[in-house]
Structure 1
Amino acid sequence: MNQKNTSGKTRLLVFISVLVAQGMVLSFIERMIPFPFIAPGAKLGLANIVTVTAVYLLTFKEAAAVVLLRIFLTAATFGSLSSFLYSLAGGVLSLLVMAGIVKVFRNDFSLIGVSIAGAIFHNLGQLLVASFMINSFLVLTYLPILMIVAIPTGLFVGFVARYLIAYLERVNMIR
């Protein structure tokens, strides 16, 4: 293996590790922010900044590694089994939808639109886990409220991710 190829793989591994660490820190910070909302349990989704960034800058496999590592390590460090299940369902569903939109409709959806879709499907994934845990689909009646909340939070995450991606591309951080 030549030096340039090894250097590129090392750089990629470091970049993925930094994204995972940033996601963990953002999750921790978000847990400390009292976020009074009409919708109980609604949050800004700060760690999704990392997910959107990974979807746009990495392959699907690499972005999935970022999401799964962040969720597992955050739950192991700061959370519980239930927080792990909620995060896993929301994070994986959000990742699948965002990656699918970027792959199929890249020219039709802006990064902000992709982020909003990710926020909506993150909420849907979490509600599906909640409905399974309490053995009732009535909790899904909460979805319209969470979809409304997902719009401003998805906008915020999308704007921040857009600036982060532009910066990372400008400094030639990835590939």
Structure 2
Amino acid sequence: MKNSIATKTAYYGVLIALALIFSYVEVLIPIPIGVPGVPGIKLGLANIVILIGLYVMGTKDAFIISCIRIVLVGFTFGNMFSILYSLAGAILSWLVMVLCKKMKGLSIVGVSIAGGISHNIGQIVVAALTMKTPGILSYLPVLLIAGTITGFVIGILVDIILKVQTKAFK
């Protein structure tokens, strides 16, 4: 990506806007995955944007975009607890994805799966701590499966998007 301030600012704006749109769409989609009573299962559509940011703009920029998205979505559609849970998941997910991206031979799909799983771990741990209910950790196996599936799908989508984007901007 070109390093001009205008280009970077425009890219930030596009990615943040897309992340907000994906987050809004996700709020509208009910997830009756056959696991009644298991909170926290979401598609993670905004992670498409974070993963693109990570691979196109870099680690710092992906982190900033993620944090801005969480705060804006939290104040728009959620509350302070949703911001706290989302930040916990996003920070752990970002850290794990950054580390996984550095591993030789791990594809975007693998990085995305690791991000999806770690996001759910971060959120459930914070939920258990804030609610002082360790029993909530019993949801973890289902959330790990959901994180794996959504991470896989999102990783494939991002891989396709990056290939198309690379061809379009050559």
2: CA distance between counterparts of 1:84 and 1:115? 21
Could you tell me how far 1:130 is from its partner in structure 2? 0.3
2: CA distance between counterparts of 1:93 and 1:80? 20
Q: State the SS of the aligned residue for 2:32.
A: coil
Q: State the SS of the aligned residue for 2:44.
A: coil
Could you tell me how far 1:95 is from its partner in structure 2? 0.7
Partners of 2:109 and 2:156 within 8 A in 1: yes
Structure 1 segments, 4+ long, off by >6 Å, are: none
2: CA distance between counterparts of 1:118 and 1:28? 20
125-134 or 35-44: which moved more? Answer: 35-44
Q: Name the Cα RMSD after superposition.
A: 1.6
Q: Deviations over 1:30-77 (max 9, x none)?
A: 000111022433111101111111111112111111111111111122
Match of residue 129 from structure 1: 126
Amino acid at match of 1:19: L
Identical-pair percentage: 38
Amino acid at match of 2:7: R
2:10 counterpart of 1:14: yes
2:30 counterpart of 1:34: yes
Q: Deviations over 1:96-137 (max 9, x none)?
A: 10011112x0x3211111111000000001001101111133
Match of residue 21 from structure 2: 25
Aligned match for 2:153, one of 137, 151, 156: 156
Aligned match for 1:143, one of 111, 133, 140: 140
TM-score, with length taken from structure 1: 0.88
Q: State the SS of the aligned residue for 2:106.
A: coil
Amino acid at match of 2:75: A
Alignment of 1:3-152 (within 5 A): 8-37=4-33, 38=35, 39-103=38-102, 105=103, 107-152=104-149
**Relative CO higher for 1 or 2, CA cutoff 8 Å, sep ≥ 6?**
1
Aligned residues: 166
1: CA distance between counterparts of 2:79 and 2:147? 24
1: CA distance between counterparts of 2:166 and 2:65? 18
2: CA distance between counterparts of 1:168 and 1:74? 26
2: CA distance between counterparts of 1:15 and 1:153? 25
1: CA distance between counterparts of 2:22 and 2:41? 15
Could you tell me how far 1:155 is from its partner in structure 2? 1.1
